Amino acid sequence: MNILVLNVGSATLKFQVVVTDAERIATDRDERLIRGQIERIGGESIITIRGADGASRRHTAPLRDLRAAVEWLVGFVSSDESGTGLTSRGELHAVGHRVVHGGERFRRSVAIDSGVLHGIEETIELAPLHNPHNLRGIEAARAALGSGVPQVAVFDTAFHHTLPEHAFLYAIPYPLYRRHKVRRYGFHGTSHRSIAHRWRTLTARDRADVRIVTLHLGNGCSACAIRGGESIDTSMGFTPLEGLVMGTRSGDIDAALLDYIAAKEGLTLPQVEALLNNQSGLLGISGLTNDMRDLLAEAHENQDRRATLAIEIFCYRARKYVGAYLAALGGADAIVFAGGIGENSPEIRRRICDGLQWAGVHVDETANDALVDGKEGRFSTEASSLAAWVVPTDEELLIARDTFRVISGIEPT
């Protein structure tokens, strides 16, 4: 089955076409025909395409809105020029959408019908920045492919539906949860699930034997405590702002700061929230950039004090969360790193693990240094009682597989 995977953001559309079915899932032989992204939708859009051979190409096209972008995309991927081998739109058999927020209602991936659309709409107040784009993506795909092509929603929150009450409730008046659904939802769920699934494949374990801490360290960052293959705690909360230090997000802060910063800086509360989401984290501390590569270069080549500090705070917070989750899990078998930083920076991995020797992690420097550019493997020494791994995340593959499974009525494993 050829599945178009769509991940719609505010002005960007990321896409892949994945060939999958039960046999390919069982043997890990899914195939990627094409992947890429369309940026600057609404103007002269830039389209970056990577074919199955890995070669990258760039196109530009005036795409006035998301509908035009999806229409262009569907036409392109089913054309000769794309190199996918597809010859008509009819060969796109289904669409899988990343949907950020599923609230308490969506606990797994679902086929999209009018009831599901309504449910995603109802969740807009919980995710005003994300769910409206996801809904527009669903409408655009239906317009481009027709209502006969099944569409499936895969929610970023769904993997965390197993959080127990003591992990998802904030210690604030309980009626706020009942009345307004104020609770921790957690995000990056598709990523943590993808990492956990791949790790148990690599280590030949059953789902029930997975007891790990996963660290998704990209521009957004989150940690997840996984026991019996299920998420029992995660660092993002009501929104993706809570938890680890991220590229531009503060992660955990004292809530009393909102009012204090607003008063001192003459800002409204929404402006302070925007400051915590967009001007904080690595960017806020360093005053330079949210890009970890550039911060490492500044710290090493120019001994920039604030770049050094930003990296230190980033690693310290991540290490604290690992410690907390080892306690939440009652011990674990591995810490698993993923995301742009987790998959590519041996230095950051080493600095997070440094200070966790008490927990049994000892870094094998050679193995650690070798794990970059999408490689997967273990980088702790044989003698470590707590292993450290890099397992690149593959959310799109999981979305494609879930799409196939939902349509075919097969339970995910």
Q: Find, among 405, 223, 254, 400, the residue nearest to 324 by Cα.
A: 223
For ligand ADP, the binding residue among 21, 291, 304, 364 (CB under 6 A) is 291
Q: Which x/- pattern over 231-260 shows residues binding ligand ADP (rule: CB under 6 A)?
A: ----------------x-------------
Rounded alpha-carbon distances, angstroms, from residue 218 to 129, 252, 293, 335? 19, 17, 11, 16
Cα–Cα distance for residue pair 223/246, rounded to 1 Å: 12
Q: Which x/- pattern over 82-121 shows residues binding ligand ADP (rule: CB under 6 A)?
A: ----------------------------------------
Q: Which stretch binds ligand ADP (CB under 6 A): 49-57, 74-82, 290-298, 350-358?
A: 290-298
For ligand ADP, the binding residue among 116, 135, 224, 292 (CB under 6 A) is 292
Select 291 or 364, whichever has its Cβ closest to ligand ADP: 291
Select 37 or 79, whichever has its Cβ closest to ligand ADP: 37
Angle at 98 between CA 84 and CA 28, to 5 degrees: 55
Cα–Cα distance for residue pair 99/253, rounded to 1 Å: 27
Select 333 or 395, whichever has its Cβ closest to ligand ADP: 395
Position with the least CB separation from ligand ADP: 340
Q: Which x/- pattern over 293-312 shows residues binding ligand ADP (rule: CB under 6 A)?
A: x--x----------------
Task: Tell me which long-range contacts 168-172 makes (C-beta under 8 A, separation of at least 24).
Answer: 170/237, 170/238
Q: Minimal distance in Å, beta carbon 114 to ligand ADP? A: 32
Q: Minimal distance in Å, beta carbon 348 to ligand ADP? A: 7
Q: Minimal distance in Å, beta carbon 238 to ligand ADP? A: 19
Residue 189 as a binder of ligand ADP (CB under 6 A): the answer is no
Residue 219 as a binder of ligand ADP (CB under 6 A): the answer is yes
Strands 2-8 and 94-99: parallel
Size of the site for ligand ADP (CB under 6 A): 13
Q: Minimal distance in Å, beta carbon 347 to ligand ADP? A: 8
Q: Minimal distance in Å, beta carbon 306 to ligand ADP? A: 16
Select 30 or 291, whichever has its Cβ closest to ligand ADP: 291
Q: Which x/- pattern over 318-357 shows residues binding ligand ADP (rule: CB under 6 A)?
A: ---------------------xxx--xx------------
Residue list 376-405, contact with ligand ADP (CB under 6 A)? none
Could you tell me the maximum CA-CA distance found in the chain, to the nearest angstrom?
61
Select 190 or 344, whichever has its Cβ closest to ligand ADP: 344
Select 285 or 292, whichever has its Cβ closest to ligand ADP: 292
Residues marked as catalytic: 156
Select 20 or 344, whichever has its Cβ closest to ligand ADP: 344
Q: Minimal distance in Å, beta carbon 290 to ligand ADP? A: 6
The answer to whether 84 touches 77, Cβ cutoff 8 Å, is yes
Residue 194 as a binder of ligand ADP (CB under 6 A): the answer is no
Q: Minimal distance in Å, beta carbon 321 to ligand ADP? A: 17
Given the rule CB under 6 A, which residues bind ligand ADP? 218-220, 247, 291-293, 296, 339-341, 344-345
